[in-house]
Structure 1
Amino acid sequence: MSRTMSGKSETQQAQPLLKRLAWLGGIWLASVLSLGVVVEIIRLGMAAAGLKTH
């Protein structure tokens, strides 16, 4: 088993990395979805005011 400078094995260090990447992906996905919701609300408001988006 290989050990790094901190004394933890590579698998012990890889797990927190995967966890951080999962959080990054989750936060990115949530931000994209929330932006989509905001865009749709704006489109509905524009359509209600008689404006066309296309």
Structure 2
Amino acid sequence: MSEITIAEIDLAKRVFHLHGARGDGSVAFRKNVSRAFIAQQPRCIIAVEA
């Protein structure tokens, strides 16, 4: 998952819905993750649900 440039996140109390995208817009992953997973990811742009 080192190719992620944008991560879109749907915030929740315990589990987040995360969508990772590469620079060309293709999907890198879609998964439900915990806070610990997010803290371990490389730096990227985070888009938060409004």
Higher relative contact order (CA 8 A, sep 6+): 2
The structure with more strand, counted as a fraction of residues: 2
Largest Rg, 1 or 2: 1
TM-score norm. by structure 2 comes to 0.18
Structure with a larger share of its residues in helix: 1
TM-score w.r.t. the length of structure 1 is 0.17
